[in-house]
Amino acid sequence: MSMLYLDNAATTPVRPEVLEAMAPFLTRAYGNPSSHHTVGEAAAAALDDARARIAAVLGMRRTDVVFTSGGTEANNLAVKGIAIAAQQRRGARHVVTTPIEHESVLESADYLRRIHGFDVTHVPVDAAARVDPAEIERALRDDTAVVSIGWANNEVGTVQDVAAIAAIAAERGVPLHLDAVQAAGWLPLTAEPGVAAVSVAGHKIGAPKGTGVLGVRGRVPLEPLLHGGGQERGRRSGTEDVAGAVALATALELAEAERPQSTPRVAALRDAFIAHVLATVPSAALTGDPVHRLPGTASFTFAGTSGEAVLLELERRGVVSSSGSACAAGSDEPSHVLLAMGVPPEVAQTAVRFTFPHDLDHPLDAVAAAVEASVAAVRSGG
């Protein structure tokens, strides 16, 4: 039986063009970019080229790009690095975020609270997972070190009003970090002037796992998490993964070039799928903002069922999806995102998320029919 993979928010396959681009730096051009010989200089040139290509997509300078091991490290470096530097320089001890962020942001903020004495304000979201920019503004203090917001939510796909939030941050002179891990490939990533830092993970857009980047403007003080030989202009020590950097640059460029065509196409297919599910599954409820959402995300709760049981039934019918984030390993607790949106715990545990590839080009009627059958099977006890 063929399987249809609809868990692309968790990870995507590596694109053939990306494999081809990175292969020489795993085999022939394998030099250490810090080495002062021809082999190392060739690697350094490739690394610099990848940095410039990524900077162009982010709307930043080449020197603003810091390569990381993925989105989690990029978020940790942004939240901890900016906050600790601000504490050292001006005594800042306050972080603003929301309760629906990725665990790497929430746990970084909690680390700052526990170890460095920071206060953390979690600005509430509405029932659609949208944060009111005015609430962000009200939360800011004279000693706020950083605001960290997810551009698009990884579980329900809600997209925030980052332009308004960036304008507020710029006016108040507070660094704004955007977690753009889910936004990459779907939304234009050119950062607003008020954005201090942007996180991207390669494996969400067709690059290998273990590749990521933090774009952080050079004027923003940043305390490194990793100390050593001073690579990445002292902001992230360690021998750079040249092949990974080339892979990420290639994947990001491809995604950005295809975005004007893929976004409206996938959004139309998503809308038809959502309408089909809501019309045929009585207990189905869409989660996330019905308008301000990622083109590739359709997420539901099915009250009176078990989300995990529905997932198993879907897989029996050839559809692979998820119950939400793949990053809270081993957790069977209700989604913190849905709880923050006001969804009751027993309903939150019925969540199922479908996330589509950028090259989706066919209607999802068969998937909607599989959802209807799967929910019915769970309700009837199989």
pTM summary value: 0.95
Contact 78, 199 (CB under 8 A): yes
Among candidate residues 318, 297, 298, 334, the one with its CA nearest the CA of residue 373: 318
**Annotated catalytic residue, options 164, 272, 327, 373:** 327
- What is the separation, in whole angstroms, between the first and last Cα of the chain? 20
Q: Is the pLDDT of residue 98 over 70?
A: yes
The yes-or-no answer on residue 11 being catalytic is: no
**pLDDT of 141-190, one tens digit each?**
999 999 999 999 999 999 999 999 999 999 999 999 999 999 999 999 98
Q: Strand pairing partners for 148?
A: 177
Phi, psi of 187 (to 5 degrees): -125, 150
Phi, psi at 319, each rounded to 5°: -120, 120
Are 99 and 149 contacting, i.e. CB atoms less than 8 angstroms apart? no
Residue 379 pLDDT > 50: yes
CA distance 68 to 205: 15
- CA dihedral 121→124→130→131, nearest 10 degrees, is -40
Q: Give pLDDT, residue 1.
A: 54
- CB 116 within 8 Å of CB 124: no
Q: Are 152 and 144 in contact (CB under 8 A)?
A: no
pLDDT tens for 357-378 read 999 999 999 999 999 999 999 9
pLDDT of 69 over the 80 cut: yes
Q: Would you state the pLDDT for residue 329?
A: 44
- Give the chain's domains with CATH numbers: 4-11+260-379 (3.90.1150.10), 16-254 (3.40.640.10)
